[in-house]
Amino acid sequence: QKEVEQDPGPLSVPEGAIVSLNCTYSNSAFQYFMWYRQYSRKGPELLMYTYSSGNKEDGRFTAQVDKSSKYISLFIRDSQPSDSATYLCAMTYGGATNKLIFGTGTLLAVQP
Amino acid sequence: GAVVSQHPSWVICKSGTSVKIECRSLDFQATTMFWYRQFPKQSLMLMATSNEGSKATHEQGVEKDKFLINHASLTLSTLTVTSAHPEDSSFYICSAGSITGGGEQFFGPGTRLTVL
């Protein structure tokens, strides 16, 4: 069993839809949770960063962490074609010296 | 803030030559940087953890003498692919986290290596 599970998609939605992306994990020691967006042939871009459980909102993006269920989500409201990319969840035990554990990434296509 | 740069952005070399890739944190200090490689349509694969002032830690299956890492300062890490072969052709990406931050890491734009 992988430490972090993520549906690879692809996920295709019409423009304006609400997108829900999810990851599950097995290690209860993870404390920091991140979502990255990666366009083709580019480095990942940090979208959302959450410490422990709870919700965080930034513009059209909302990240949720449920540590009791070992489940994290990223919601994208009013999706745009420019949101088409691969979305990677990542988590770590804590601190900048600890390596990230990634999900496989979900490929999202927002159709105009 | 939190910008990581890589140089070069792409490189083509002949088989048997060595290639050096630089990773810099431009506006923060990082005691630890990470090197990944990524094949098309696949997720990131961690190659090694680069520690400032000490030896790097390579992941299982990654040859430390082939993928040399030097972390010369709190803002610079280099990856040297020695005696490169066509199978080393890939997208190499580095990441770093601020020593004053939490667990988040910031990624460079990546370096595309093609070995002929």
Convert the pLDDT of each residue in B32-50 to its tens digit.
Answer: 899 999 998 888 999 999 9
Strand order, beta sheet including B4-7: B4-7, B19-25, B76-81, B67-73
> Quick one: closest CA in B to A88, which residue?
B43
- Overall average pLDDT of the B48-64 stretch: 92
3-state secondary structure of B38: strand
Instruction: Give the per-residue pLDDT at B98.
Output: 79
Three-class secondary structure of residue A83 per DSSP: helix
Phi-psi sector, A60: left (phi>0), alpha (psi -120 to 50), beta: alpha
Strands (E) located in A7-112: 11-14, 19-25, 32-38, 45-51, 54-58, 61-66, 71-76, 85-92, 101-102, 106-111
The helix/strand/coil state of A79 is: coil
pLDDT beyond 90 at B31: no
Q: How far apart are CA B20 and CA B12, in angstroms?
A: 12
Q: Has residue B53 got a pLDDT over 90?
A: no
Inter-chain touch A46–B2, beta carbons under 8 Å: yes
Q: Which chain A residues have a beta carbon less than 8 Å from that of B111?
A: none
Q: Quick one: how far is CA B73 from the chain centroid?
A: 14
Structure tokens at B37: 């490689």
- A interface test, pick of B32, B54, B104 with most A CB neighbours within 10 Å: B104
Taking alpha carbons only, the member of B7, B22, B25, B8 closest to residue B104 is B25
Q: What is the pLDDT of residue A97?
A: 74
Q: How far apart are CA B97 and CA B31, in angstroms?
A: 8
Q: Is the minimum CB–CB distance between B65 and chain A shorter than 8 Å?
A: no
Q: Which two tokens stand for residue A43?
A: 């480095």
Q: What is chain A's pLDDT, residue by residue, as a tens digit (112 residues)?
A: 789 999 888 999 999 999 999 999 999 999 999 999 999 989 999 999 998 888 999 999 999 999 999 999 999 999 999 999 999 999 998 776 788 999 999 999 999 9
Helices (H) and strands (E) in chain B, counts: 0, 11
| Interchain proximity A96–B103, CB inside 8 Å | yes
Asked if B32 lies within 8 A of A34 by C-beta distance, the reply is no
For chain B, positions 79-98, list CB contacts with chain A under 8 A. Answer: 91, 93, 95-98
| A100 secondary structure, DSSP code | P
pLDDT band per the 50, 70, 90 thresholds, residue B1? low
Whether residues A51 and B107 touch (CB distance < 8 A) is answered with no
Contacts of A70 (CB under 8 A, 6+ apart): A24, A25, A26, A28
The overall average pLDDT reported for chain B is: 92
